[in-house]
Structure 1
Amino acid sequence: MKLVVVGLSLSSSWGNGHATTYRSLLRAFAARGHVVTFLERDVPWYSGPARDLHDPDYCKLSFYEDLAGLQDHAAEIAAADAVIVGSYVPDGQAVGRMIQETARGVTAFYDIDTPVTIAAVEAGRCAYLGADQIAGYDLYLSFTGGPMLHRLRNEFGSPQAVALYCCADPAVYRPSEQAKRWDLSYLGTYSDDRHPVLDRLLLQPARQAPHLRFVVAGSQYPGTIAWPANVERIEHVSPHDHAGFYGASRFTLNVTRADMVRAGFSPSVRLFEAGACATPTISDRWMGIETVFTPGESILLATTADDVLGVLDDMPPENGRLIGERARAEVLARHTAAHRALELEAALSTVRIKRRAS
């Protein structure tokens, strides 16, 4: 299958979680014998020092300057068996119109931010997807499962909507034997709606437990945040260093955006990456998390700072290790890049067969 992906970024993981998702998925998809081209808008914030992937060996990476530059790839788009447009692509609505008009193969929208996208679509302020465009894509690949898939089909007219969760590549994300630098870590870009939960589940515990060590890694945090003395700040951790980051963490924290909590069934890529590294995760609560990991056995859930401190202060080390090992087992069984590549192949093939039969 010849696949063209127009996505936010493959070349830079700076300030976005899309790059690691695309890298794992497309590497595994290409390993199944498919030919992949990734088209990326060349923007200043993902170039220069922020560009940490230049020449992937599993796909062709090409850059375009603007919408006119994307038209230079029209022949390749038209000849592809499938074309995927990702969420948060600059000028995404115009890109989507161009793809739907040009592509002769299957067209799909891959939404790594589904609840955020749909909330913005309903408010009429989504820059990368119009409500009328959802029905124009043959396939909606959703970061979110559960009831959201029903909404996409029945409220927005998607011909086919399936869940395509994020994943982890076990060749990259694996356990490492090293000293623990932090009792609790968090890896994620700043967002207004996540920060109150981060404050409650990491900063408050840090204030209450000066004997413990914490770290928050990620970009775009405002300078007005008062970080406790026992919270280390790291501006950016490259994907190459993620496994080491998790390996140095006794526990790691997962915090979910508000729209995704409301929708449920929206696992973060960090859950799978930390799980693949056998690092036990403490997560906020949301509907459907039990369909991904088993609460109390392969993941720990917390609502308050006391919940977090109860784990950090009272859980025996062997119990934490066992939770991490169970999480890794669940990732390897159901949530690797190879699993997602197979799911993507099946979804695209199903639509291709339906198109031929119609």
Structure 2
Amino acid sequence: MTRPLDIVFLGLSLSSSWGNGHATTYRALIKGLRQDAHRVLFLERDVPWYANHRDLASPDFCELGYYSDLNAMIELYGERLRKADAVIAGSYVPDGVALIERLAALELKSLCFYDIDTPVTLAKLDRGDEEYLALRQIPLFDAYFSFSGGEVLARLEQNYGARSAVALYCSVDQERYANTGEAAAWDLGYLGTYSPDRQPTLEHLLLEPARRLPEMRFVIAGSQFPDEIEWPANVERIKHLAPAEHASFYSRQRFTLNVTRRDMIAAGWSPSVRLFEAAACGTPIISDFWRGLGELLPDGEALFIARAPEEVVALLRELPDSDRLSVAAAARKVVMNSHTGAARAREFARALLQLPANPALDRISA
């Protein structure tokens, strides 16, 4: 175990999982940090769309503070930020560019960035879109922690000026995700917020198989799907599913579908938290293909890759239960060994401890 660290995150949301995958990612990581006695403060911009949908307003594994504007945040938490071993700004934080500028001016011991949307971020920067991060700011960070690994890390350093790009995949809360033993309610399901670039794959790999298999049951859970979508009669819709219900949801599926956003597919090496959650619940996964997936969960051994409706239909109709459950068990073993919040927290703490000291602080204390 490493020495205890004092860490401050300024992220999109910890309190609300509504319409985002950040909250569950942060929760698993921070719970893992807490298990190793690290002290964590999470600061979240108080915005109405999350304030109205909070499912974890008072976590017991870290301090959670809200702020209404940057001046108020610096006034209230400035001293805590300066004393912290590491301050981590996150992707998609409101007024992120201004926030990073303010943090950089505080002469922190260590300032890092955790990008839970790396391929999306880089695609935005390439278009000149600096919604929450400016290109000029990337060299400011002592470490750029990235949702994506593989070739993306080299691109961050060589093309975008990151001093040190470090893979920090999302992870699963091992205490909350396990098979519940409930009877199967659906043959194939999907959990995810609506995204225009994911919808064609969802149509291809779930809705079309549902039309071809009217005797089977399907389910799609997630918010923000347009009202005009015509759902087949055998597809059940759940508009929002709180994290506390995820394990039950996965446990009641014979298979679950993983669908990846276009930018993530282009980058590769970008596993979503849903992939790890489903595997932890022992649910067999059908996924679209992207580079690096086989390094995490090999096709045919720990999940099934599908490129066409016919392949999904064949799996649902023909795969013996023994093969289906064997593949699910292999995926669960991989995830519980390497992709839990506890495992990711150890990786994160080790990386922070290896960061060089801030030379500006040495000059101040001299």
Fold match by TM threshold 0.5 = yes
Counterpart among 116, 123, 127 of residue 120 in structure 2? 116
Asked if the contact 2:172–2:339 (Cα under 8 Å) also holds between the matched residues in 1, the reply is: yes
Is 1:243 paired with 2:209? no
Corresponding residue for 2:35?
31
Aligned pairs for 1:182-261 within 5 A: 182-261=186-265
Amino acid of the residue matched to residue 23 of structure 2? A
Q: Is the 8 A contact 2:139 2:163 kept in 1?
A: yes
Are residues 103 and 291 of structure 1, via their aligned partners in 2, closer, same or farther at CA, if it must alter by over 3 Å?
A: farther
SS in 2 for 1:38: strand
Compute the RMSD of aligned alpha carbons.
Answer: 1.4
Contact 2:32 2:341 in 1 (8 A): yes
Q: Distance in 2 between matches of 1:109 and 1:307?
A: 40
Is contact 2:110–2:357 with CA below 8 Å preserved after alignment? Answer: no
Of 3, 7, 11, 2:7 maps to: 3
Q: Which has the higher contact order (CA 8 A, sep 6+)?
A: 2
Residue 69 (structure 1) shift: 2.2
Identity of aligned residues (%): 50
Report SS of the residue matched to 1:177. Answer: coil
TM-score calculated relative to the size of structure 2: 0.95
> How many pairs align?
357
For residues 14 and 107 of structure 2, the distance between their equivalents in structure 1, rounded to whole angstroms, comes to 21
Query: Could you say which residue in structure 1 is the equivalent of 2:274?
Result: 270
Residue equivalent to 2:332: 328
Contact 1:5/1:83 (CA < 8 Å) preserved in 2? yes
Residue among 94, 99, 115 paired with 1:95: 99
Aligned-partner Cα distance in 2 for 1:354–1:103: 8
> Greater shift after overlay, 264-273 or 103-112?
103-112
The code of the aligned residue for 2:68 comes to: E
CA distance in 2, matches of 1:101, 1:31: 32
Tell me the SS of whatever aligns to 1:95. Answer: helix
TM-score (norm 1): 0.97
Q: Which runs of 5+ in 1 are unaligned?
A: none
How far apart are 1:354 and its partner, in Å?
8.1
Q: Distance in 2 between matches of 1:224 and 1:54?
A: 33
Q: Is the 8 A contact 1:79 1:103 kept in 2?
A: no
Structure 2, unaligned runs of 5 or more? none
Q: Is the 8 A contact 1:122 1:131 kept in 2?
A: no
Q: Kindly report which structure 2 residues correspond to 1:1-358, keeping only aligned pairs within 5 A, or say none.
A: 1-48=5-52, 50-72=53-75, 73-352=77-356
Deviation, 1:123, is 0.6
Q: Distance in 2 between matches of 1:264 and 1:162?
A: 15
Q: Secondary structure at the match of 2:44?
A: strand
Is the Cα–Cα contact under 8 Å of residues 139 and 161 in structure 1 kept in the other structure? yes
Q: 1:126 to 1:208 in 2, by over 3 A?
A: farther
Deviations 1:16-55 (A, max 9, x none): 110001001001112111110000000111013x101111
Are the aligned partners of 1:182 and 1:248 in contact in 2 as well (CA < 8 Å)? Answer: yes
